[in-house]
Structure 1
Amino acid sequence: MTKQPEHIVVIGGGYVGLYTAHRLQRRLRRELKRGDVRITVISPEPYMTYQPFLPEAAAGSLSPRHVVVPLRRVLARCHFVPGEATSVDTERRIVTVRTLAGAESGAELTEIAYDELVLAPGSVSRTLPVPGLAEHGIGFKTVEEAIGLRNHVLEQLDIASSTRDTEVRDAALTFVFVGGGYAGVEALAELEDMARFACRYYHNIRPEEQKWILVEATDRILPEVGERMGTYVVRELRGRNIDVRLNTRLESCAGRTAVLGDGSRYPTRTLVWTAGVKPNPVLASCGVPLDARGRVRCTPGLRVEGVPHVWSAGDAAAVPDLTAQRDEATGAWPPCAPQAQHALRQARRLADNLVAARRGRPLTDYRHRSAGSVASLGLHKGVARIYGRRLRGYPAWLAHRVYHLSRVPTFNRKARVLAEWALAGLFKREIVSLGSLEHPRAEFELAAGAGGQPEAR
């Protein structure tokens, strides 16, 4: 009787999913070639998005296809299943998947058996019950949202340039961003930089007419770079005529009017929501222990607590941070922050530990001290804290680019990104809005709908 190969299933194609599967296919190359092991990756998207590059993609500094990494190419020795895991039965070791074909045809769900499971579905945008947010808010977590936002901002300049209605014009030139973390600050800074540059091609719009507002519920922005550098960022943004509102919440955006906690009201056609993320809700149906925030409880070795043959890491996991201080009351380690630095390193440690477990070797606890943080504030502007050293302006912006270029997967993507940066240094920004890409069949549907009407004579 032929022995069935050991099946390793990875749920998720983000940082952890990609890097874990990639390292596994390298470490288990011989086993894969002999047919002793199979690796299956389940993800609704056939690519991994390198999210730190989304602000530059939104600003037009990078092409959207160069900020994503195709899973099929990078994970050539793995089997890729395009679909979404809906539940996990840890007793039977079964993953239930809704494939793309099943979603289209309404067919039954597919079951995939596993011997070892890596839970890495990542995170989704964390929203609040703000009136009007679902109808008018714009997210900033996927490459589609980033390019859609770029097209939207340029479209607002076109609207403002072509109307005589002052209310419409003011609303079109008002841009509100909610959330003072990396995503919100970098997206706002890059897009404001792009919009200010674009104004030179609009004869009736001056850069100072635009109103950019950053709303943050706490008393500081970019806490990762430290209080001192966070204060510098606020000063830098305000120096660019960006209205930074600290200790302020968005109360409503119904009727395309942003109402803030201090009572101020801003009619706007652009409200970008970047106020944090939360673990993927699918974890609730995976039969694993979760903490108060919905993350998978893990050991320092990246196993799921109390559930054999299941591993987890990244945004979806509460991994003890062994480099931090224990909680004085409980004696427990605080979890690692949901950052890309941790996700990349946890993925590699997870893969190594999984291979070690297969071979009967002891596991190694995940332990990593942060090298620092970098953030871009637009072209040639940035802040950074690297091994305790603070950088600002051009050196910080350069450090931001060098660091992320070194971290984006595959030599192919590194070369393409570097080439685009080199070309961008030689030529001016592109300010073309391709909003029709979001509805490519609209014109054809209109023509086809009118095709049955008699031709006018």
Structure 2
Amino acid sequence: MRRIVVVGGGYAGFYAAWKLEKKLRRGEAEVIVIDPRPYMTYQPFLPEVLSGSVEARHAAISLRRNLHHTKLIAGSVTKVEHGRRTVTIQPVKGPEYELEYDIIAVTAGAVTRTFDLPGVADRAIGMKHVEEAVAIRDRLLTAFDEASVLPPGPERRRLLTVTFVGGGFAGVEGFGELLSLANALLKKYPELSRDDLAFHLVEATQRILPEVTDGPRKWVRSLLVRRGAHLHLDTTLLSADDGHVILSDGTEYDTELLVWTAGNAATRLVRGHTDLPVTDRGLIQTRADLRVGTETEVVPDAWAAGDDAAVPDLASPVPGAFTVPNAQNAVRQGKRLAKNLLASLRGREPKNYVHHTLGAVATLGLGTGIFQFRWIVVRGFLAWLMHRGYHVLAVPTWDRKMRVLSVWLAAAIHGRDIVSLASVQRPRDAFVNEAALPKLSLADVHSGGTPAVAEPADRSS
């Protein structure tokens, strides 16, 4: 029985393994998925996790619950030696070890692209994973609680200042949803006003939402500005040291929350820890049929898909174009990868991956969205409904579809939940503080006495 190793359990890896185990015959092949996380993140839901419109767990698709016949290894692949048909695995616990394979599919995805800027590594939060979205939401809700007891001034202003760096779909959707939540929260905090809020979106080019045309893009900019946003286009972040933001357009201010969504970069594995061919952009050199290699040369038993693969875009009118690293392509490439792997195992020729875009759709806050397909543009509430309808159909498993729908229905009737659970990031604080108080001995408990111990510990910490 041949061993197929899938590196990464994101979109492409999850769908490839999911489809493979449904189609493989008994004893035909063993599938192993290696990923440090036990779930696939449905990233289009992360902006709505920020605003509380989707529960965090509902944006996470359990690998073990859905991959019934696939072996899962909780760890990271640190090296691929295809010449020896081995991968080096760093498990979540324990020492590194090597695993042999017959066929490899590299679907490791991408990581957030960062730059060596003062303060970014210390202050910024990305927006690729569920835990990051939850942290962003909790920080905003906590900031409202803290700001509501402060007098107007610099400290209150800092707490309610939010900065997003990156004006692509992830950045604009997250920014729009969080700004919508902040404006809605003002109704619950009479001590605060809209003048206390400062939301900044920083984009290095002149365009936000590059996937849409100038008309819809201008409408989105106008919408965000009407809600109180400060847009800094053709501007870069120079420093965020100690929360003090300095922009290339001369703007300076203090921010409590810094969210980094400035594009993707290849993983460390692909950048320098594999003998598979890599492009100048740091991506796996991939053919249109998802085999690793070039048009004239194929690397045997090696496949790639998703954000870490340079897949030729056969649907693009631009010669030499590669597929865009987005959810549409990753999902469909994962499915095509499974079909092509099966065809290869059974002696048939794999087919090329060709996908014509279904358009671009984005949520911009509760009840507002934008959709464009070629010359067709839909704005506002209808586009928002289209966004929700598309993604509830696209999210895998009926379990997740029903859970997401139930949360949306509850929110439509009762409104969004505005409880911060930031304390769960420090679950032992309450216990530690209580443990520092005077203790009762067993003798005191039986006698009903009180402990003769020093003064109580300071609980303010």
Instruction: For 1:32-111, list aligned pairs within 5 A.
Output: 35-102=27-94, 107=95, 109-111=96-98
Q: Which residue of 1 aligns with 2:159?
A: 172
2:430 pairs with 1:434: no
Q: Which residue of 2 aligns with 1:11?
A: 7
Q: Which residue of 2 aligns with 1:27?
A: 23
Letter in 1 for 2:280: A
- Whether contact under 8 Å (1:215, 1:244) holds in the other structure is yes
- Whether contact under 8 Å (2:315, 2:354) holds in the other structure is yes
Q: Aligned partners of 1:180 and 1:376: how far apart in 2?
A: 14
Q: Aligned partners of 2:318 and 2:360: how far apart in 1?
A: 23
- Whether contact under 8 Å (1:225, 1:374) holds in the other structure is no
Q: Secondary structure at the match of 2:154?
A: helix
Q: Which residue of 2 aligns with 1:322?
A: 314
1:156, distance to aligned residue in structure 2 (A): 1.2
Q: Find 2:146's aligned residue among 159, 166, 173.
A: 159
Q: Find 1:255's aligned residue among 238, 242, 245.
A: 242
1:443, distance to aligned residue in structure 2 (A): 2.5
Q: Aligned partners of 1:342 and 1:11: how far apart in 2?
A: 18
- Whether contact under 8 Å (1:90, 1:307) holds in the other structure is no
Q: Find 1:129's aligned residue among 116, 122, 144.
A: 116
Q: Find 1:290's aligned residue among 278, 281, 285.
A: 278
Q: Which residue of 1 aligns with 2:446?
A: none
1:292, distance to aligned residue in structure 2 (A): 1.6
Q: Give ranges in structure 2 of 5+ residues lacking alignment.
A: 440-451, 457-461
Q: Aligned partners of 1:260 and 1:315: how far apart in 2?
A: 30
1:451, distance to aligned residue in structure 2 (A): 6.5
Query: Greater helix share, 1 or 2?
Result: 1
Q: Secondary structure at the match of 1:363?
A: coil
Instruction: For 1:354-369, list aligned pairs within 5 A.
Output: 354-369=341-356
Q: Secondary structure at the match of 1:201?
A: coil
Q: Which residue of 2 aligns with 1:193?
A: 180
Q: Aligned partners of 1:208 and 1:184: how far apart in 2?
A: 23
Q: Secondary structure at the match of 2:172?
A: helix
- Whether contact under 8 Å (1:173, 1:211) holds in the other structure is yes
Q: Secondary structure at the match of 1:128?
A: coil
Q: Secondary structure at the match of 2:21?
A: helix
Q: Which residue of 2 aligns with 1:203?
A: 190
Letter in 2 for 1:166: G
1:326, distance to aligned residue in structure 2 (A): 4.5
Q: What is the aligned-residue RMSD (CA, Å)?
A: 1.5
* Superimposed CA distance per residue, residues 381-405 of structure 1 (whole angstroms, 9 cap, x where no aligned partner): 0100135411000111011111111
- Whether contact under 8 Å (1:220, 1:231) holds in the other structure is no
- Whether contact under 8 Å (2:156, 2:196) holds in the other structure is no
Q: Aligned partners of 2:169 and 2:74: how far apart in 1?
A: 30
- Whether contact under 8 Å (1:118, 1:312) holds in the other structure is yes
Letter in 1 for 2:31: I
Instruction: For 1:408-423, list aligned pairs within 5 A.
Output: 408-423=395-410
Letter in 1 for 2:153: T
Aligned residues: 439
Q: Which residue of 2 aligns with 1:269?
A: 256
1:229, distance to aligned residue in structure 2 (A): 1.1
* Superimposed CA distance per residue, residues 129-150 of structure 1 (whole angstroms, 9 cap, x where no aligned partner): 1111111112111100100010
Q: Secondary structure at the match of 2:291?
A: coil
Q: Aligned partners of 1:451 and 1:141: how far apart in 2?
A: 44
Q: Aligned partners of 1:165 and 1:233: how far apart in 2?
A: 31
2:398 pairs with 1:398: no
Q: Aligned partners of 2:393 and 2:281: how far apart in 1?
A: 32
- Whether contact under 8 Å (1:175, 1:271) holds in the other structure is yes
Q: Which residue of 2 aligns with 1:330?
A: none
* Superimposed CA distance per residue, residues 203-223 of structure 1 (whole angstroms, 9 cap, x where no aligned partner): 210123211111111011001
Q: Aligned partners of 1:320 and 1:86: how far apart in 2?
A: 26
Q: Aligned partners of 2:98 and 2:58: how far apart in 1?
A: 33
TM-score (norm 1): 0.93
Q: Secondary structure at the match of 2:6?
A: strand
Q: Percent same amino acid among aligned pairs? A: 41
